[in-house]
Structure 1
Amino acid sequence: MASTKDARRPDLIVPYQEPAGKTDNPELSSTLSSTLPMAAIFMRNRYVGWAAVAFSLQSWLGESEETQKSASSPGYFAVGMSLMSLIVTYLPLFLPPSPGLQQGSSTEAPAPVPPA
């Protein structure tokens, strides 16, 4: 008797379709591999430079075909940028700043004048 009261119609059944994944899913590793080299250059911090190399290598070696298609730049570009930031942070060891340049601000008091 339960089947006589069933009001469902088999022709109106819609099969389940899994929704498509989001394409705007930013990955943390690719974000770190692109921003850490800039932070290393601005701060002249060698540890941040080495972290940038490690994250960019990890991001490059771990990218899939889908991320290669959707990425705006290839993975080896981030590796190149991180190596460049590492070179910039170690540059003062090989090309030290000239001693004639003073590391002061232009707002400090002038040097005292010796009495004549």
Structure 2
Amino acid sequence: MLDDPRDPSLETKFIIPRTWRGQDNVDGLATSGMFLAGLIMVTRNRILAWPSLILGASAWINQHPLRTKEGGTPPIGNLILGFTALIAAYLPLFLKPGSATASSPLRQVPLN
């Protein structure tokens, strides 16, 4: 029978394609984008926010689902972190300078 999948004559050796390699190395651009995003949230440097967002978008666009290891983190986190760093860098420009201290319920009362 030629239709029988258990027929030993129909067996072929499994060969991994030459271009299909596991991603053992770390993506340097994605790692530097995450580092920049963390640095932006600490220093509030607005100039570094744009390269961090671009590096996050690059990591998301250049992902290869068949090449990533099982259980690896998806690169969408880099893009979200770059976007959040951009918001954290530019948000103080849109807030009023004295609005947070005037409406704060934890004002310091001088002791007599």
Equivalences for 1:11-90 in 2 at 5 Å? 24-70=24-70, 72-90=72-90
Number of residues of Structure 1 aligned to a counterpart in Structure 2: 82
Q: Which runs of 4+ in 1 moved over 4 A?
A: none
Identity score, percent: 25
Q: CA deviation at 1:70?
A: 4.9
Consecutive unaligned residues in structure 2, runs of 5 or more = 1-20, 102-112
Consecutive unaligned residues in structure 1, runs of 5 or more = 1-20, 102-116
The Cα RMSD (Å) is 2.8
* CA pair 71-85 structure 1, distance change in 2 beyond 3 A: farther
Q: Per chain length, whose mean CA-contact separation is higher, i.e. which structure has more relative contact order (CA < 8 Å, sep 6+)?
A: 2
* CA pair 62-22 structure 1, distance change in 2 beyond 3 A: closer
In the alignment, the residues of structure 2 paired with residue 26 and residue 84 of structure 1 have an alpha-carbon distance, to the nearest angstrom, of: 23
* CA pair 77-100 structure 1, distance change in 2 beyond 3 A: closer
Q: CA deviation at 1:59?
A: 1.0
State the SS of the aligned residue for 2:47.
Answer: helix
